Amino acid sequence: MNINLRVWRQANANAQGKMVSYRVEGVSEDMSFLEMLDLLNEDLTVKGEEPVAFDHDCREGICGMCGVVINGAAHGRAASPVPTTTCQLHMRSFADNATIDVEPWRAGGFPVIKDLVVDRSAFDRIIQAGGFVSINAGSAVDANAMPVNKREADRAFDAATCIGCGACVAACPNGSAMLFTSAKITHLAMLPQGQPERMLRVKNMVGQHDAEGFGGCTNIGECAAVCPKQIPLDTIGQLNRDLIASLFSQDGK
């Protein structure tokens, strides 16, 4: 199959970007989207042109670094029956001679570094603000010494599956990272180890979220629709409940 690509090209963070058209021929329908981009870059390299920069690592749908906007949808959600990462999107999802637009994440908190690569270090700073627990070091405790209610354990595990890819931000009309932030907050809020700093954690992480330039949440739900790990939207409700509770808590000062 042959594919017509329109790719966002931007030399660096300060340069003016634009969409550039390419023709990629000999694409196998069994290729992943990233393998198709590899094919494009091989052709560009042979021609002596600058290859398209894009972020990736595991190519197994685990790390989420591969995220790009495909035909207006984060990770190409519209081309796949279920939410997936870009590296797990296969070319059989597109028709022969299809025209595909490929762009980077677009959000105030994700400045473009080059082409399709964005700086997602804002997520690291949100986690640094409170996504941790303080415990005394020592030997490992017995597995049954700290029982956790199954419902809360399941909820913590579901939230912990967030890979921080940023698709939620790219899909949100407000450029909000509340689904990511709420996943990290809910994960620890459901566990006994997360209770001592629970109120302070939510205030610090939400404060850092806003300081990074992400927008506010208006519960549109696009974030959950494109999340490759299907983080539930109600984690944002958990964040809001904890945030309100922190306003009346001595621990939240």
pLDDT digits (tens, 9 = 90+) for 170-202: 999 999 999 999 999 999 999 998 999 999 999
| Assigned architecture for domain 120-247 | Orthogonal Bundle (1.10)
Under 8 Å between Cβ of 236 and 219: yes
Check residue 145 and give its pLDDT.
Answer: 79
Q: Please count the other Cβ atoms lying within 10 Å of the Cβ belonging to residue 125.
A: 14
pTM: 0.92
- Mean pLDDT within 117-141: 90
The whole-angstrom separation of Cα 217 and Cα 253 is 24
pLDDT at 77 over 90: no
What are the sequence ranges of the domains in the chain? Answer: 3-103, 120-247
pLDDT at 252 over 90: no
| Assigned architecture for domain 3-103 | Roll (3.10)
**Which H/E stretch holds residue 70?**
strand 69-70
